[in-house]
A = this chain, B = another copy of it.
């Protein structure tokens, strides 16, 4: 159903991530009706997700109900639901709560984890895209130490305490650093049979260097710092298999009970169902105005889009900044046309690189802002300030800052609950033991 009855132009936005939220907010003072549909009820600050996975932050501090963000915006409505079909001819979006007609459609469905055609890896190597993913990684991470504490067999113990992170981009680097910190600083004091050298953290990547999109000197810096922390790094290697034994890297099998996947993203499956060209990673290819060629009133923004910078000819990177900028750009086009502009007057999108950063470990991060590259403690301070600034809500900012300060001072991690049905994790432990006894 469609509760609306006004005569205002109707905008439907699919997805409430950085891109979608910014489209809606930028239309605040325009005479339109906006509907935002998302399959989750929260907007997620993805850059901090790895900190939920490693027990540093609470999920609620980095995720805000979408309704809470938009409740004051009178021209916006929110629907929880998964879009099942888009009909370009009828200008209709169908989702499992009903259907919505539109004058303009903005697809901001983001990206999902990609296993490059090996979806069978997923159950052995969870990715990190949602709160539930983060809680699953957290569960596996902290459960491993519980298991190791009571495991007598040395070989089994080594396997339990070996963590492999596949993918050396910012997420992989941040995850590896955080897991190493937890393993060597936070947990040993609470366990009787685990010391700071009990566990191995291995970061593997197919490319020649870490954090590929960042400048080369910072890649080297990240590698040096991680190695000094004790993270083992394997570059230029290919992951051939992930199974219950561990990871097959090249010809070698690394025995590991826990493998985490941070190797790549792809567009949502919805992209394949619409009349639009997609790239190999299911991103929808858009023109310079970010609309789908042949469908001028359908835009794609953020990670869902394969967009090209009109000035440099380079692809727009799949980062928060890209999502925010493409979202606002499209909102401006819609606004201008509703206020009388002709479609021929549309500008072309070009990306403004504000810089990039990655956290490596306690008191250490790398940053590239224009030609300035730096790291260490100053990088760490910048990283923290920047990320807090972009969080939504004063209360979340305050709480996250407090948590960081506390964790930094006391080398602790507070949010370490192993949730989920205990039957599941304990039965898993149990069957592992049984297998070993056989």
- A residues with CB within 8 A of B: 1, 3, 39-42, 58-61, 63, 65, 67-68, 71, 77-82, 96-98, 131-132, 135, 142-143, 146-147, 149-150, 152, 189-193, 395, 399, 406, 412, 414-422, 426-427, 429-430, 433
Nearest chain B CB to A121's CB is how many angstroms away?
19
Q: Is A152 in contact with B67, judged by CB distance below 8 angstroms?
A: no
Q: Is A422 in contact with B192, judged by CB distance below 8 angstroms?
A: no
Q: Is A60 in contact with B149, judged by CB distance below 8 angstroms?
A: no
> 10 nearest interchain CB pairs?
A80-B146, A67-B190, A71-B190, A97-B150, A96-B430, A60-B415, A1-B152, A39-B422, A41-B418, A58-B58
Q: Is B98 in contact with A150, judged by CB distance below 8 angstroms?
A: yes
Q: Which residues of B contact A430 (CB under 8 A)?
A: 96
Nearest chain B CB to A289's CB is how many angstroms away?
31
Using known A-B contacts A3-B192, A41-B142, A189-B71, determine if residue A417 contacts B65 with beta carbons closer than 8 Å: yes
- Smallest CB gap from A66: residue in B: B190
Q: Which residues of B contact A412 (CB under 8 A)?
A: 68
Among B79, B191, B418, contact of A149 (Cβ-Cβ < 8 Å)? B79
Q: Which residues of B contact A149 (CB under 8 A)?
A: 78-79
CA distance A159 to B41 in the complex (A): 21
Copies of this chain, tallied across the complex: 2
- Smallest CB gap from A429: residue in B: B96
Nearest chain B CB to A143's CB is how many angstroms away?
8
Q: Which residues of B contact A193 (CB under 8 A)?
A: 3
What are 10 sample pairs from A and B whose C-beta atoms fall under 8 A apart? A39-B422, A40-B418, A60-B415, A68-B190, A77-B192, A78-B149, A96-B426, A132-B419, A395-B414, A399-B399
Nearest chain B CB to A198's CB is how many angstroms away?
14
Among B58, B191, B395, B414, contact of A406 (Cβ-Cβ < 8 Å)? B395
- Smallest CB gap from A396: residue in B: B414
Q: Which residues of B contact A41 (CB under 8 A)?
A: 142-143, 146, 416-418
Q: Is B42 in contact with A418, judged by CB distance below 8 angstroms?
A: yes
Listed residue (A61, A67, A142, A430) with the most chain B CB atoms within 10 angstroms of its CB: A67
Q: Which residues of B contact A142 (CB under 8 A)?
A: 41
CA distance A426 to B93 in the complex (A): 16
Among B65, B420, B433, contact of A416 (Cβ-Cβ < 8 Å)? B65
Among B67, B81, B147, B422, contact of A426 (Cβ-Cβ < 8 Å)? B81
Q: Is B97 in contact with A433, judged by CB distance below 8 angstroms?
A: yes
Nearest chain B CB to A131's CB is how many angstroms away?
6
Nearest chain B CB to A45's CB is how many angstroms away?
13
Q: Which residues of B contact A98 (CB under 8 A)?
A: 150, 152
Q: Which residues of B contact A152 (CB under 8 A)?
A: 1, 3, 98
Nearest chain B CB to A393's CB is how many angstroms away?
8
Listed residue (A59, A191, A419) with the most chain B CB atoms within 10 angstroms of its CB: A419
CA distance A68 to B417 in the complex (A): 11
- Smallest CB gap from A74: residue in B: B192
Nearest chain B CB to A154's CB is how many angstroms away?
12
Nearest chain B CB to A213's CB is how many angstroms away?
30
Q: Which residues of B contact A422 (CB under 8 A)?
A: 39-40, 82
Q: Is B96 in contact with A433, judged by CB distance below 8 angstroms?
A: yes
Nearest chain B CB to A358's CB is how many angstroms away?
26
CA distance A427 to B418 in the complex (A): 27
Q: A58-B59, A67-B190, A82-B422 are in contact. List 14 more A-B contacts (CB 8 A).
A: A39-B426, A40-B418, A40-B422, A41-B416, A42-B416, A59-B419, A63-B417, A67-B191, A68-B190, A80-B429, A96-B426, A97-B147, A97-B433, A132-B420
